Structure 1
């Protein structure tokens, strides 16, 4: 009986990937990497790795009889070929020595395993918001929403247009509040009801479910909301060039995974701004006003009350999904 070390290593890698995905699901940290609507797909990947692991196990050991048969067939192949062809006839049975190229390949595969097991899951924060463009991104979003209104309504139904579609670059709106369930879908009637509540409610309460929808509507026509009370939560992001009493209260919107994260949030004014710091999570209430940044009008929140809160276990927002009947 002969043990093939490299085949065993490959089996161990497959088992490790299976274990890593299982661990992320067990702790709930999987939602810090992907939209919860892909949880079932991720679980399937874990099962697939386990299945491949059991197949790989069969390649770790070979009996002496198998070795003799293999050498016999290999010898016959060489007998019927010239020396040049035979010298290049090669099968990798896990016995070939480690080369620089092979070590590099294993290192690339092992890197996500090592970081996944030994480094804690880190959420996107103010430093990422700055790299993505910061407050200028919010201004660009406002311009894109306004530019859509110039289209002919006969060619494009503005009621069906949404900022979520623009971010996702698809015609589908997506959302999920549950770690263990598939993405929740709402009917078009429910979607319209949520929009009507935004315009009729005495105070705008932006919970995670409606945050992106309400943010879009407010940014689309700020004048309709000036003077309205609003309540929401997010992390603080400070940007160079803002007044000493100004900051941005932000959230990250995840369509598929953290790689496509988009920052959304409100420019805000608060007297205690100098005392607050980046990545501090706060729950605030205030009044909507209008401000300009780099020549672009955007909503600004005049904060009346605020309190520091813990970062939510699921800090990201996910777009709504409208069920198409």
Structure 2
């Protein structure tokens, strides 16, 4: 019966994540069909487990009733001496089996119950713990890094999760070259490159893959400001949190922006920025990186869904 509660618990947890809309804080919604499938499959398996348990319980009750009926019929005969003999033999065998069972079954039961307890933890947290949207405090805690243009994600595991989107680890080398070239052509010929929520990660990846092709082009996008401790003057990072597939490969993506003199922003202020792409030497990374020279900007309200997803 415990397995029934586990299966139904997981199905209900995923259902509630979809119902409340919090599922987008865990996965790229392009793959939402997988979690919906999980709800259906685990719900079905839960019903199967309930039917199996009910049939087993009914069979045990029927067997117990037959045993009781047989015992009643047996007690009507006067076989006290024989019964005493059989009882002694039965007690001896039962004692032996009882001792034997304790030596093997108890540890197995303990392991099984511990396993069940572990499975209940994600159900409990998923149902009762709030799903918070990430903000600049995540950046402060984790920091971010920027691999050199000659390095790829395989040489810098985890670095693709910050600042520069990098989906190359999900392709073989030749296939990724084709994807990167196709996406470069999609953006590079636009007179003004406006990165929307739908193509934010794809556009950022195209820009970082070949920044020279975008130099002096006008680029516009939305994001939250982050000053940190490593930039000065009117420089702020403008970020979006994004998922390539799910929260396991989520990260903070965007670029350094050089705002007009006198601009004052607080961390987590949402802004719309537009400007020309240039180069600057960023000392903490010890390399030259693409920087947006902001010509126009404005504060905006935080979007209902602060995340962007890889299309």
After TM superposition, the score normalised by the length of structure 1 is 0.67
Structure 2 residue aligned with 1:55: 48
Distance in 2 (alpha carbons) for counterparts of 1:172 and 1:57: 50
Distance in 1 (alpha carbons) for counterparts of 2:97 and 2:204: 73
- Per chain length, whose mean CA-contact separation is higher, i.e. which structure has more relative contact order (CA < 8 Å, sep 6+)? 1
Output aligned runs, 1:1-325, within 5 Å.
Answer: 7=1, 10-58=3-51, 59=53, 64-67=61-64, 84-88=99-103, 90=105, 105-134=115-144, 137=145, 139-140=146-147, 142-144=149-151, 164-168=166-170, 195-271=184-260, 275-294=264-283, 295-320=286-311
Q: CA deviation at 1:15?
A: 2.0
Q: Secondary structure of the equivalent of 1:140?
A: coil
Checking the alignment, whether the CA contact within 8 Å between 1:143 and 1:296 is kept in structure 2 is no
Q: CA deviation at 1:240?
A: 1.1
Q: Secondary structure of the equivalent of 1:249?
A: strand
Aligned residue pairs, count: 275
Checking the alignment, whether the CA contact within 8 Å between 1:173 and 1:319 is kept in structure 2 is no
Unaligned runs of 5+ in 1: 1-6, 149-161, 175-187, 321-325
Q: CA deviation at 1:24?
A: 1.6
Flag the 1:228–1:70 CA change in 2: closer, same or farther, 3 A.
farther
Checking the alignment, whether the CA contact within 8 Å between 2:237 and 2:257 is kept in structure 1 is yes
Flag the 1:277–1:48 CA change in 2: closer, same or farther, 3 A.
same
Flag the 1:12–1:201 CA change in 2: closer, same or farther, 3 A.
same
Q: Secondary structure of the equivalent of 2:207?
A: helix
Checking the alignment, whether the CA contact within 8 Å between 2:224 and 2:271 is kept in structure 1 is yes
Checking the alignment, whether the CA contact within 8 Å between 1:164 and 1:173 is kept in structure 2 is no
> When you count helix as a share of all residues, which structure comes out higher?
2
Q: Secondary structure of the equivalent of 1:297?
A: strand
Checking the alignment, whether the CA contact within 8 Å between 1:270 and 1:304 is kept in structure 2 is yes
Flag the 1:104–1:220 CA change in 2: closer, same or farther, 3 A.
same
Structure 1 residue aligned with 2:81: none
* Superposition RMSD in Å: 4.1
Whichever of the two has the greater Rg, that structure is 2
Q: CA deviation at 1:215?
A: 2.1
Checking the alignment, whether the CA contact within 8 Å between 1:255 and 1:318 is kept in structure 2 is yes
Flag the 1:90–1:224 CA change in 2: closer, same or farther, 3 A.
closer
Distance in 2 (alpha carbons) for counterparts of 1:317 and 1:49: 29
Flag the 1:79–1:107 CA change in 2: closer, same or farther, 3 A.
closer
Q: Secondary structure of the equivalent of 2:185?
A: helix
Flag the 1:67–1:231 CA change in 2: closer, same or farther, 3 A.
farther
Distance in 1 (alpha carbons) for counterparts of 2:222 and 2:216: 19
Q: CA deviation at 1:13?
A: 3.6
Q: Secondary structure of the equivalent of 2:196?
A: coil
